[in-house]
Amino acid sequence: MKVTKFLSFFVLVGILSLLSGCGSIQLPAPSTSNNQKQQFSSELNKGNSLSYTSMVTADSFLNFTGIASSIGLQMPLELPNSKYDWIVTIEALEDKPFTVAQVNAMTRLLANDSNVYITYIGDTRWKTYQVKKTDELYGKVAIAHKLYSPLQPEGYTQAILEAYKLFIEANLSKLSFKHKKYNYTVTQAVDVSHKIAWFVAKNQQWAVIKLKADGGFSDTDVRRTMESLGLVKGFNAHQFFWRNTDFENADTNYMTVWTPEQSIDNKGAVTELVFGFSIPRSMAPLEIYNAMHNIVLYTQQELGGFVVNKYDEPLNTAKDIVNIKTIVKSLQEEDMQPGTGDALYVFETTYTK
């Protein structure tokens, strides 16, 4: 079940073709004039360094048009993530609705991988619950336990889920309620957990391109180049983000650029820049990959160095694109769209090869 349902999502993408043989679609980007783009392409082909005052930014490599999405302000009638959560639902007695104090007590006991949902008296729509101080009454409460955790990469065992159920039952016994229902038995929940773990292990991949230099890059030049592209520096001095400002419900960043700690010497020079994004968490992974490739080529013209893949092998963009398409197809076969509700819920943000 999707956390958010899009009424429509149409992406028409144009990627600037900056080098002959890149395979990108030529389409003028709104933030760069045709003359500037022609000059930029000419300078790239001549191998000349570009001026930091040019109008080239990360956004000029990606042109999304025709996006139509609708974000509901209210939760749907069904509970979110019911396909990936183990959920117990309880319904209050007609004369004894659940109070804030009761729901707060349950919420505080739960682990981080569990969520609480409620419905108000006379309302059938589910809403995410957070600890409150207000005086409210609820008709139903649902406790949802996510059946995937990076701490259990192979899935939850029977013993772990049976212990969790005993814990939940002990706390529910302190309440008076009308009905109680689990969406899965313990055995079913174990099976679902293992299937999710297998699915995540198969598809939780990042698209990555590296720029390396034997002599290293100047830390100052790296920062200037990233900032000239409009990338935002993170809390880590050697991390930059290409922020996503177009989509309301996709991953926060189109792409991240970072430097592994071991590639930073004591003089501030860096030997490796990693450009990457999570494929299942990207709403338009093929388009972002093509744009990222052009951004890497631009950075190479500015800083020098050589381009490789995530394994430090010669970059093969055709192979990367096939892999991205394979992952997208795998998600869609699970009735999951990259970069939207279920994909964002199931897949972690941690970089993985």
pLDDT band at 234 (very low <50, low <70, confident <90, very high): confident
Say whether pLDDT at 43 is over 70.
Answer: no
Whether residue 40 contacts residue 55, with contact meaning beta carbons closer than 8 Å, is answered with: no
Say whether pLDDT at 328 is over 70.
Answer: yes
Say whether pLDDT at 212 is over 90.
Answer: yes
Tell me what percent of the residues of the chain surpass a pLDDT of 90: 54
Residue-wise pLDDT for 269-291, tens only, equals 788 999 999 999 998 999 999 99
Q: CA–CA separation, 54 vs 258, rounded Å? A: 23
Whether residue 156 contacts residue 68, with contact meaning beta carbons closer than 8 Å, is answered with: no
Q: CA–CA separation, 57 vs 30, rounded Å? A: 11
Residue-wise pLDDT for 111-144, tens only, equals 777 899 999 998 889 999 988 878 899 999 999 9
pLDDT band at 249 (very low <50, low <70, confident <90, very high): low
Summary mean pLDDT of the chain:
79
Phi/psi-derived region of residue 66, left when phi > 0, alpha when psi is between -120 and 50, beta in every other case: left
pTM over 0.85: no
